[in-house]
Amino acid sequence: MRHIYIILLLFFIGLSAQAEVIPDSLYIRANRFYSEGRYSEAATLYDSLINTGYSAPEVYFNLGNACFKMRQIGKAILNYERANRLKPFDEDIRFNLQLARTYTVDKIESLPEFFLSAWWRSFRSMMDSDHWMILSIVLFIVCLVLFLFFLFSMRVTLKKIFFTLSVFFLLGSFIAGLSGYRQGREFHARNEGIVMVSSATVKSSPDAGSSDLFVLHEGTKVKIEDAVGNWVEIRIANGNKGWIEFSNLEII
């Protein structure tokens, strides 16, 4: 009986190792195709990796690069945005995303943002939600240790120092936890999309017969605010809003 358990254990370990090798081998092949200039074949393999659940930021980033080389601007921006969601502090991803946006038709001016809101958003984007939460836990543990030093210290001066430091680290833990919560909430919201067709008419209501408001083009980013049937209400960076068919978009 014991030998059977060992054989089964080795069997499952072998399956697990095989499952890890297959995506890695596909990733290496996709990278080789990309380096050889075979962008279509590389993009197909990157898509296969994503469809099998191997959705790392590097895969989305490389897929975006392959699409950009093929001048598929909408798909390039979509995958850069997805990579940016997973790794918001990566400078290469941000740079390529900004570069791809210069190739879009729609040059939409964003509404002015209150400087504190812009600073807070920029601060949160320094790390993803997981890293913020880890930092929050570490800072809280340090806070507890310092508080214990405060309780057991015999000197008044040391008590003041340990208490002040414990409050400081507690505040840092709260800020890191709040940043992680907001980053996680935005990541899972899935309320942003990219226009994937050459042009799409935005309507005044969720009805093909309603009046036209404006036209959006491939690669434009929109925020989804409501949905009715096959229509979604979207808002663009300058504050304008309207209804568009969902089939014209891909969710980030």
Q: Is 106 inside a domain boundary? A: no
State how many domains the chain has. Answer: 3
Residues 166 and 234 reside in one and the same domain: no
Residues 196 and 185 reside in one and the same domain: no
d(CA 188, CA 198): 28
Q: Is 211 inside a domain boundary? A: yes
Residues 97 and 8 reside in one and the same domain: yes
pTM of the model: 0.72
Residues 54 and 79 reside in one and the same domain: yes
Residues 53 and 89 reside in one and the same domain: yes
Range of the domain at 154: 115-189
Residues 77 and 97 reside in one and the same domain: yes
Tokens (6 digits) for 149: 């030093």
**What pLDDT, on the 0 to 100 scale, is given for residue 11?**
41
* Domain termination site, one of 189, 210, 243: 189
Tokens (6 digits) for 218: 């491939």
**What pLDDT, on the 0 to 100 scale, is given for residue 110?**
79
Residues 6 and 96 reside in one and the same domain: yes
Q: Is 110 inside a domain boundary? A: no
* Domain termination site, one of 73, 101, 129: 101
Q: Is 155 inside a domain boundary? A: yes
**What pLDDT, on the 0 to 100 scale, is given for residue 54?**
81
Tokens (6 digits) for 234: 């979207």
CATH of residue 40: 1.25.40.10
Residues 163 and 90 reside in one and the same domain: no
Q: Is 107 inside a domain boundary? A: no
pLDDT tens track, the chain, 252 positions: 444 444 434 444 444 444 444 457 889 999 999 999 999 999 999 999 999 888 789 999 999 999 999 999 999 999 999 999 888 888 999 999 999 999 999 988 877 777 788 788 788 878 878 889 999 999 999 999 999 999 999 899 999 999 999 999 999 999 999 998 988 887 777 889 999 999 999 999 999 999 999 999 999 999 999 999 999 999 999 999 999 999 999 998
Is the Cα torsion angle 70, 74, 78, 80 positive or negative in sign? Answer: positive
Residues 129 and 206 reside in one and the same domain: no
CATH of residue 231: 2.30.30.40
* Domain termination site, one of 153, 173, 189: 189
Residues 52 and 85 reside in one and the same domain: yes
Q: Residue 12 belongs to what H/E stretch?
A: helix 2-35
Cβ-in-10-Å burial (0-12, 13-18, 19+) of 94 comes to middle
Strand order in the sheet with 241-245: 212-217, 199-203, 241-245, 231-235, 221-228, 192-195, 249-251
Q: Is 216 inside a domain boundary? A: yes
Residues 25 and 67 reside in one and the same domain: yes
Q: Is 8 inside a domain boundary? A: yes
Residues 211 and 228 reside in one and the same domain: yes
Q: Is 109 inside a domain boundary? A: no
CB within 8 Å of 110: residues ≥ 6 apart: 237, 238
Q: Residue 172 belongs to what H/E stretch?
A: helix 156-189
